[in-house]
Amino acid sequence: MKFMDKRIKPRSPSNPKKRPNVEKSPEKRPVRKASVTDNPVFLLIVILTLTFIVFLPVFTSDFLTTWDDKSYIIDNMMIRSITFQSLREMFTSQIGGTYVPLPLLSYAIEYKLFGLSSLAFHSTNLLIHLFCTMFVFMILRKLGLKPLFAAIGALIFGIHPMGVESVAWVTERKDLLYTFFYLASIIAYLEYLKKDQKPYLYLLLSLGLFLLALFSKIQAVSLPLVLLAIDFYKKRPIRPNLVVEKIPFFILSLIFGVAGIFILKNIGALRINEIFTFTERLFFGLYTFNAYLIKFIVPVGLSALYPNPIKTGETLPILYYLSPVMIGLLAFATWKCYPRWREIVFGILFFTLSVFFLLQIFGAGQGFMADRYTKIPYVGLVFIVAMLAQNYLEKHRERKTLVLSLVSVILILFMVLSFQRTKVWKNGDTLWSDVIEKYPEKSARPYACRGIYYKEINEQEKALKDFSKDLELDPGDVEILQFRGNIYFNKGKDDSAYADYNRAVKIRQDNALTFANLGAIYVRRNQNDSALYNLSKAISMDSTQSTPYANRAVVYGSLGKPLESIADFKQYLKSKPDDERVLFSVAMIYFNMGNMKECIVWLNKTIAIKPDFANYRWLRSMALKQTGNKTEALKDALKAKELGQAVPDDYLQSLK
Full DSSP string of 477-511: -HHHHHHHHHHHHHTT-HHHHHHHHHHHHHH-SS-
Phi and psi at 75, nearest 5°, equal -100, 10
Q: What is the DSSP letter of 162?
A: G
**Mean pLDDT across the stretch 289-302?**
93
Number of Cβ within 10 Å of residue 465's Cβ equals: 15
Average the pLDDT over each of 93-102, 221-230, 294-303, 547-556 and give the range with the smallest value.
93-102
In whole angstroms, give the CA distance from residue 615 to residue 623.
12
- pLDDT at position 595 is 93
Per-residue pLDDT of 101-123, as tens digits, reads 999 999 999 999 999 999 999 99
Amino acid (one-letter) located at 47: I
pLDDT band at 132 (very low <50, low <70, confident <90, very high): very high
- Kindly tell me if the per-residue pLDDT of 213 is higher than 90: yes
User: Would you say 429 and 448 are in contact if contact means Cβ atoms under 8 Å apart?
Assistant: no
**Mean pLDDT across the stretch 330-346?**
85
Number of Cβ within 10 Å of residue 545's Cβ equals: 18
In whole angstroms, give the CA distance from residue 587 to residue 428.
41
Radius of gyration, alpha carbons of the chain:
35
Per-residue pLDDT of 26-67, as tens digits, reads 455 555 565 767 789 999 999 999 999 999 999 999 999 988
In whole angstroms, give the CA distance from residue 356 to residue 327.
13
User: Would you say 464 and 487 are in contact if contact means Cβ atoms under 8 Å apart?
Assistant: yes
- What mean pLDDT, rounded, does the chain reach? 87
Per-residue pLDDT of 477-493, as tens digits, reads 999 999 999 999 888 89
In whole angstroms, give the CA distance from residue 38 to residue 92.
48
- Kindly tell me if the per-residue pLDDT of 375 is higher than 80: yes
pLDDT band at 16 (very low <50, low <70, confident <90, very high): very low
The Cα-based distances of 612 to 486, 562, 578, 617 in angstroms read 30, 28, 15, 8
Question: Which of 120-124, 359-363, 511-515 has the highest mean predicted lDDT (pLDDT)?
Answer: 120-124
**Mean pLDDT across the stretch 150-163?**
96
- pLDDT at position 275 is 67
User: Would you say 188 and 316 are in contact if contact means Cβ atoms under 8 Å apart?
Assistant: no
pLDDT band at 200 (very low <50, low <70, confident <90, very high): confident
Per-residue pLDDT of 228-261, as tens digits, reads 999 999 988 888 888 889 999 999 999 988 877 7
Q: Please give the angle made by the CA atoms of 445, 448 and 451, to the nearest 5 degrees.
A: 150
- pLDDT at position 266 is 60
In whole angstroms, give the CA distance from residue 382 to residue 279.
32
**Mean pLDDT across the stretch 414-429?**
95
Nearest to 584 by CA among 546, 559, 618: 618
Q: Please give the angle made by the CA atoms of 489, 491 and 494, to the nearest 5 degrees.
A: 40
- pLDDT at position 263 is 66
Phi and psi at 643, nearest 5°, equal -85, 0
In whole angstroms, give the CA distance from residue 567 to residue 573.
10
In whole angstroms, give the CA distance from residue 376 to residue 163.
10
The neighbouring-strand residues paired with 98 are 95
Per-residue pLDDT of 528-576, as tens digits, reads 889 899 999 889 888 888 889 988 999 999 899 999 999 999 999 998 8
Q: What is the DSSP string of 290-323?
A: HHHHHHHHS--S--S----SS-TTPPPPHHHHHH
Number of Cβ within 10 Å of residue 200's Cβ equals: 9
